Structure 1
Amino acid sequence: MSINNLIVHEIQKCEGEKKALLIARPNENPVDGQATLISAQVTNLFNRSGMNTGRFSNPSGSDTGSQLPNLLSKHFTNNIFADFSLFTKECAAEYLKYLEQVEEAEGGLLWFNHFELHDTQFLYIVLLKRKSGIVLSADLSLSQVDQIETEKLHMALRINLTAWQSNDEGRYIAFRFGRAPKFEKEYFTQFIGCDEPKVASKETKKLVDLTSAFCQTEEFAPKQANTFKKVVSEHCQSKIEDNEPLTMKELATEVQAKFSVEQANKFLDIANSDDFKMEKELFVEKAALKKLTRLSGSSRSLTLSFDADLLGESITYDSSSNALTFKDIPKSLLKQLQTLA
């Protein structure tokens, strides 16, 4: 990640009050080691579970609704912000309008970060909170200071500026909430002006179900099905690591390279069918993707989870009796069993 612009503004507002106060930083924060460290922490938190994706309801902007697209159109041209400080101040003032409509909401720190990754321009708008901390001075005395809370994320937005500016039809907006209550989620979504947001975990589950449905349609043997699922999983994992959305077209190309043109076309046909209606691109959530290559289940007294490719090898299933037989039991479990024998 190459940081181009960075600035933090503060919005002061107490719970139970409507009035909010914007304390705007006059110029950009320096992109130093501390800024780089916090940026990395924010990115790490952002890429965890709970992602929502979408696009602006009015990508070119309008007089009604969210003014964020208007502000971007006004300030962002040729991959640069003419005046990043002014853009963020106007953006923060717009955020203030939505915040003041909710008495229960509190203020915080608005973190604006314009960065470049893989020749693509991005913008973060993140709500951070303060917390109290203890520091030890040079004379070993203790004192209390205010710190930025980086252990958890409250609300955050990431815009793929390159995709938005090129009028891409994909879902160039990604946003997530930490443990924000419903009323905060609502005003933040209104501030963004997102069109029909999709939940990444649900979209990933659809992809897992699609892959299983394709394997059944092709009547793959268990080993073939596991091989196919691994190809899909590995391609998805690479997108997760690069913080990029998965496109169905790219995935079909991967299927074509590892299997055949016919199977790639069939895969896309099922993806576009009424049963699935997959988006052209989606953000994959790692936790939901695990179901593609692992089998698991639990009851009140039993939990089982294992790699799918063990089925038919060290684990066998008898459909007539609904029984699983395990070989090569993990040593830690085996020791526990032997003590009970």
Structure 2
Amino acid sequence: MSISNLIVHEIQKNEGERKAILIARPNENPVDGQAEALSMQVTNLFNRSGMNTGRFVNPQGSEEGAQLPALLFKHFKDNDFADFAGFTKNCAAEYLKYLEPVEEAEGGLLWFNHYELHDTHFLYIVMLKRKKGIGLGADLSFSQIEQIEMEKLHMALRINLTAWQSGDEGRYIAFRFGRAPKSESEYFTQFIGCDEPKAAAKETRKLVDLTSAFCQSEGFPSKQANEFKKVVSEHCQAKAEDREPLAIKEIASEVESRFSIEQANKFLEIADSDSFKMEKEIFVEKAALKKLTRLSGSSRALTLSFNSDLLGESVEFDADTGTLTIKDLPKSLLKQLQSMSN
């Protein structure tokens, strides 16, 4: 990650009040070791679960509604911000307009970070909070200090500037709310000017269901279906590790290479059907992938979970009686059962 621009502004607002004050830093923060370390912490927190994705309603901006896309269109040219401090100050002033009507919301530190990664330009806008801590002076006496809270992000936004500027129809905006209440998440979405935000976990679950529906439509036997689901899972895991969006066409390419172009087209047809209406690109939530390769269920008295490729091998299912027969039990479970039977 190569940081191009970095600046922090402060918005002062107390919970229960409507009045907010913007304290704008006049110049950019220096990109030193501390800034780089903090930027890495922000990135690691951002890439945890709970991400949403979207795109601008008006990519080039308009006089009405959110002004963020219009400010970007004005200030970001040729992969560079001519006046990053001015751009961020205008953004912070716009943010303040959406924040003030929400009495429950508090102010904080607005972090703006323009960086480049793999020839792609990104912009972070993150709301950070201060917290009180205890420091130890040179004479080993205790004192109360203020520091930036880095255990969690309250609200954060990342825009793929390269994709947005090229007119990409994908979901080039990624954002997360942390544990912000609904009233705060709503004003943050309005500030962004985001079109139909999608939760990554929900979109990943749709992909899992789509994969199962495709296997069922093609009549794949269990072993073949499980092998294909494992391939899809591994492809998705790799995208999640690289923090890159997954294009649905990539899965269709896997179908074509393993089966046929006709079946790849069938996969895309199901993806585009009313039952799924998959986006062209999605961000993968790793935890939501489990159902691709595992079967699980629970009741008040029983919890059962196993890899789907065991079905037909050490786990056999009788559809007529609705029963499972399990062989090759885990040694620890087998030992417990044997001790109880003695």
- 1:263-282 matches, within 5 Å, as 263-282=263-282
Q: Cα distance, 1:241 vs. partner? A: 1.2
1:82-130 residue CA offsets vs partner (Å, 9 max, x unmatched): 1111111111011011111112210011111111122111111111111
- 1:143-182 matches, within 5 Å, as 143-182=143-182
Q: Aligned pair 1:238/2:231, yes or no? A: no
CA distance in 2, matches of 1:154, 1:302: 37
Q: Could you say what secondary structure the match of 1:150 adopts?
A: coil
Q: What corresponds to 1:318 in structure 2?
A: 318
* Pair 1:30–1:303, CA change in 2 (3 A): farther
Q: Which stretch shifts more, 214-223 or 308-317?
A: 308-317
CA distance in 2, matches of 1:137, 1:225: 63
Which ranges in structure 2 are unaligned for 5 or more consecutive residues?
none
Q: CA RMSD in A?
A: 1.5
CA distance in 2, matches of 1:22, 1:339: 69
Q: Which stretch shifts more, 162-171 or 331-340?
A: 331-340
CA distance in 2, matches of 1:146, 1:301: 49
Q: Which stretch shifts more, 199-208 or 176-185?
A: 199-208
* Pair 1:305–1:140, CA change in 2 (3 A): farther
Q: What corresponds to 2:116 in structure 1?
A: 116
The aligned amino acid for 2:140 is L
The aligned amino acid for 1:218 is E
Q: Could you say what secondary structure the match of 2:4 adopts?
A: strand
Q: Could you say what secondary structure the match of 1:109 adopts?
A: strand
State how many pairs are aligned: 341
- 1:1-341 matches, within 5 Å, as 1-341=1-341
The aligned amino acid for 1:87 is F
CA distance in 2, matches of 1:222, 1:179: 40
Q: Cα distance, 1:230 vs. partner? A: 1.2
TM-score normalised over the length of structure 2? 0.95
Q: Cα distance, 1:136 vs. partner? A: 3.0
Q: Assess if the C-alpha contact under 8 Å between 1:231 and 1:255 holds in 2.
A: no
Q: Cα distance, 1:332 vs. partner? A: 3.3
The aligned amino acid for 1:141 is S
Q: Which stretch shifts more, 63-72 or 253-262?
A: 253-262
CA distance in 2, matches of 1:59, 1:265: 31
The aligned amino acid for 2:27 is N
CA distance in 2, matches of 1:253, 1:330: 38
Q: Cα distance, 1:4 vs. partner? A: 1.4
Q: Cα distance, 1:270 vs. partner? A: 1.2
The aligned amino acid for 1:159 is I
CA distance in 1, matches of 2:321, 2:39: 54
Q: Cα distance, 1:207 vs. partner? A: 0.8
Q: Cα distance, 1:251 vs. partner? A: 2.1
Q: Cα distance, 1:55 vs. partner? A: 0.8
Q: Could you say what secondary structure the match of 2:91 adopts?
A: helix
1:171-220 residue CA offsets vs partner (Å, 9 max, x unmatched): 11111111101110111111000111112222111111110001001111
Q: Cα distance, 1:320 vs. partner? A: 2.4
Q: Which stretch shifts more, 289-298 or 211-220?
A: 289-298
Q: Cα distance, 1:304 vs. partner? A: 1.7
CA distance in 2, matches of 1:216, 1:320: 19
The aligned amino acid for 1:295 is L
Q: Could you say what secondary structure the match of 1:112 adopts?
A: strand
The aligned amino acid for 2:233 is S
CA distance in 1, matches of 2:308, 2:43: 31
Percent of matched pairs sharing the same residue: 78
* Pair 1:83–1:296, CA change in 2 (3 A): same
The aligned amino acid for 1:322 is G
Q: Could you say what secondary structure the match of 2:202 adopts?
A: helix
